[in-house]
Structure formats: C-alpha cells, structure tokens
Amino acid sequence: MISIGVAGKGGTGKTTLSALIVITLLRKGKKPVLAVDADPNSNLSETLGIAAPQSLVEIVDSVMEVKDNLPAGLEKTKYLEFKIKEAIHEDEGFDLLMMGKTEGEGCYCHANSLLREFLDRIWKNYSFVVMDNEAGLEHLSRRTSRDLNFLLITTHNTRNSLLSVKRIKEMVQKLNLRIGKTFVVMNNVGYFQHNTYQQDPQDFDFLIPYDEEILIRSQEGKGLLNLPDSSPALIAVRKLLDNLMEL
C-alpha cells in the first residue's frame, strides 16, 4: 500500500490535486484506491463528482447520542465500527471516507483519534490511499497525516503561499512525523502571469499547469471523474505519479 497526502494553504488547489491523483490512479488500473477527505470543510466528493457520504464526525456524534440506549450485549466500540463502515462511499475502483466538521467550538480530538485507528486497520486493504488534508497545519500537529509515503504541498506563485510551504515543512520536521518524502507542487502555472513575484526553481518539485476545463467544471458544479485524458493538468499529474513510483 502506498499513501499520498496533500496539504497546503487554502486556495492553492490541494483538493483538485487530490482528485486528479485519484483519477489518474484509477485510469492506470492501480485499484482499489481509498480517498480520505480529512478537511473539515469537505468538498472532495463534489470535486470528484459523487454524492457526499455521511461524515465520520456525524457518525461519532450519532453514536454518542445513543450510547446509553444500545441493546444489551452490544459494545459501543463494535457498534461504532459498524457505523463507520457505513460511512465509506463505495464507487467504481475506489472508496471515499469523509472526515466532516464538528459543530460549535469543540475540538476534533475524538474524531481524529478514531480516524487514525480506523485508517490503521483498513489501509492495508487498498493499493493506494490519497488523503486531502486541512488547509493549514492543524492536521499535522494532530498527526492525522501519519505514516505517509509521500506528502505533496501545494502552492501558487505568491510569497505568502511559499511561506506557508516553508512552515509546513518546518512542522513536519519539528513533530518528527512519519512521512517518507515531501515535495512541493506549484499549481495553476500560467494563470498568475500578472503576479510579479518570481519563484526560485528550488522552491518547487513539480508543476501543474492552469487548466481551463477544470475551472469551467468548478464554476458549473461538475465533477472531474470524466475529465478527458488530454487535460493538461491530468497529464502533469500522470507524470508526477510516474516520478513518485520510481522513487
């Protein structure tokens, strides 16, 4: 099993990249794939173009509400595991698990702990796991993204975005996270021609070009699962994955 995590500053296209990775793996026949939406502001399902499943947080909350009214002999942990399995959306060649968002100001500690434990058990059933993480650094500090073979950090050609990349890299080292290799992906190359900031080639490892078809689909609320093979972004992601698999 190979696990790929995607992180980055909000608006840098990390969810789109996650979806394109899933699509590329499916078309390469690298099945089954588990797509994990670990961003509380979940939209990986919409980006792919499938119905959003019930989230892990919703499952946990519903079980906590009925925990004292379970039938005799039915353990809460067993019931919880059964309900979590119901939260997995099964599709052609891949499954989707959505983290979800808690209500109010409560922390995600219970859900994150559950997510880690559950993923530890089921990851071995898949050829690839692709995890779309939160926009900031919180998922790293809570160690949601542990045991990753690759971490891809998305960025744009802006100084603030590249500073965010630096902070994520520093956090990975500080927390001594179990991540094999970390790479920086410059997204939407060609779209920000008006930006005067010029990046150093050492700031990134892979380039994903601007793809108008993806923008149009996003504006129209259409998913990317049937994106044509001629898509410039999809071609770039295919090359990116080919390079990763050679490492």
CA-to-CA distance for 122 and 34, rounded, in angstroms? 9
Alpha helices for the chain (secondary structure H): 14-27, 44-48, 56-66, 76-86, 109-122, 138-141, 159-175, 212-220, 232-245
Please state the rounded mean pLDDT for residues 222-226.
Answer: 97
Does residue 32 have a cis bond before it (omega within 30 degrees)?
yes
Candidates 1, 3, 10, 2; CA nearest to 137 is 10
Length of the chain: 247
pLDDT confidence of 194, banded at 50, 70, 90?
Answer: very low
How many distinct structural domains can be found in the chain? Answer: 1
**Which range in 6-20, 96-110, 132-146 is most confidently predicted, on average pLDDT?**
6-20
> pLDDT class for 228, splitting at 50, 70, 90?
very high
- Angstrom distance (rounded) from CA 177 to CA 164: 18
Q: Assign residue 17 the CATH number of its domain.
A: 3.40.50.300
Contacts of the segment 172-178: beta carbons below 8 A, 24+ positions apart? 172/140, 175/140, 175/141, 175/143, 177/140, 177/143, 177/145, 177/146, 177/148, 178/146, 178/147, 178/148
Under the banding of pLDDT at 50, 70 and 90, the label for residue 42 is confident
Mean pLDDT of the chain: 83
Q: Give the structural domain span for 117.
A: 2-245
pTM: 0.88
Give the pLDDT mean for 210-219.
Answer: 95
CA distance 131 to 154: 13
For residues 52-59, average pLDDT: 83
| pLDDT at residue 103 tops 60 | no
